[in-house]
Amino acid sequence: MNKKNYINSVEKLHTSKDFKDKTSKLMKDTLNSKRKKNPIAKKLVLSFASAAIIISASVVGFNYNNLFTSNKGANNNLAKPGITVAEMELPTSTEGTSTRMLPLFVYKGRIYLHYNTTFELNNEFMVDKEDMLNLRGEYLGKTIGSIDEWSNQEDYATEFASTIGESDVYTVKGYDSIYRLMVYSEYPDGFSCEIYDSFGGLTLRSGADYFDLLQFKDNIVSSQWESYDSWNNGKSELSNATIDDAFNEFIDKLYTSTPVDITTDLFTENTDYDSQKFIYLKTKDNLITALRLFKDGYVYAPEVGFFKMDENVFNAFWNTMPATNPLQ
């Protein structure tokens, strides 16, 4: 594809509603976060924004609206019950197609993405070195900046191929290296450190199959929440969530929640000011993970998909986070 054709393709770009909404919101958040020096808010803004590094002509690759594929099948009696997180789809050809390039790298045949779990940032928008050193494990190798929007399958098959240039890759202490690794880079005036996850192919029979990998149980030290109105309008109005019985029971029930393959679009059907809430959970190692809550008991984890919770427990926690109607 020559440059002229590529430019024409970009001008005709059509992306998913979720991606466009998220991208425009991130730009607002980045400005607002500089005014409100909230470490959790700042880090999540930078993390979500990093998902929009390159947009090219049509959507191939990671589809955040359709992450689940069922293991069940009428002609597959040996299939285990549950839902499997979809593998990231790679382009089979660069001619006539394109990808939006996410921050990712390849290790042992798996694709690791930087998206939903981040380090907390200090007031200088930096990771505290102590936090990084406490989690940095075994050195595995160095990424190479070999993947771009014109890459093919062979490029993705190269060990440590990436969209992020050259960075050192380490295991993360306390986490399964199959699903979580760390990328570390040094600069003349400092360093950066990011968490990368690989959940493609993971079979989910209950919430425990995912949340155990995040080390949530008995490990959350604080939480903040944000209303849909704040999130959707880039207000960054975060409030502290009380760590009480309702909160603790909510976390417990995440582990027994049911992975579900949503057939309706909860993103577009729930746009009232109090129809969604976002929670940012900080664990003892100063990692922060975002979850998106939908009325009627649905929890959305962007890397893997939807979980259906016990509605009584869900509602008890939901009601501890009263949202203000912006029209009143």
Give the span between the Cα atoms of 214 and 176, in whole angstroms: 9
Give the span between the Cα atoms of 191 and 197, in whole angstroms: 20
Longest distance between any two alpha carbons in the chain, whole Å: 60
What residue spans define the domains of the chain? 3-318
> Given this model, what pLDDT does residue 266 score?
82
Give me the phi and psi of 123, to 5 degrees please.
Answer: -70, -15
> Given this model, what pLDDT does residue 221 score?
96
Written as tens digits, the pLDDT of the chain (328 aa) is 333 333 333 333 333 344 334 433 443 343 344 334 444 444 444 333 333 322 222 222 333 333 344 454 333 333 456 899 988 765 555 444 444 578 999 999 899 999 899 999 988 888 999 999 999 999 999 999 877 766 766 677 789 999 999 999 999 999 999 999 999 998 888 899 999 999 999 999 999 999 999 999 999 999 999 999 999 899 999 999 999 999 999 999 999 999 998 766 887 777 677 889 999 999 999 999 999 999 889 999 999 999 999 999 999 999 999 988 777 6
247: alpha, beta or left? (left if phi > 0; alpha if psi -120 to 50)? alpha
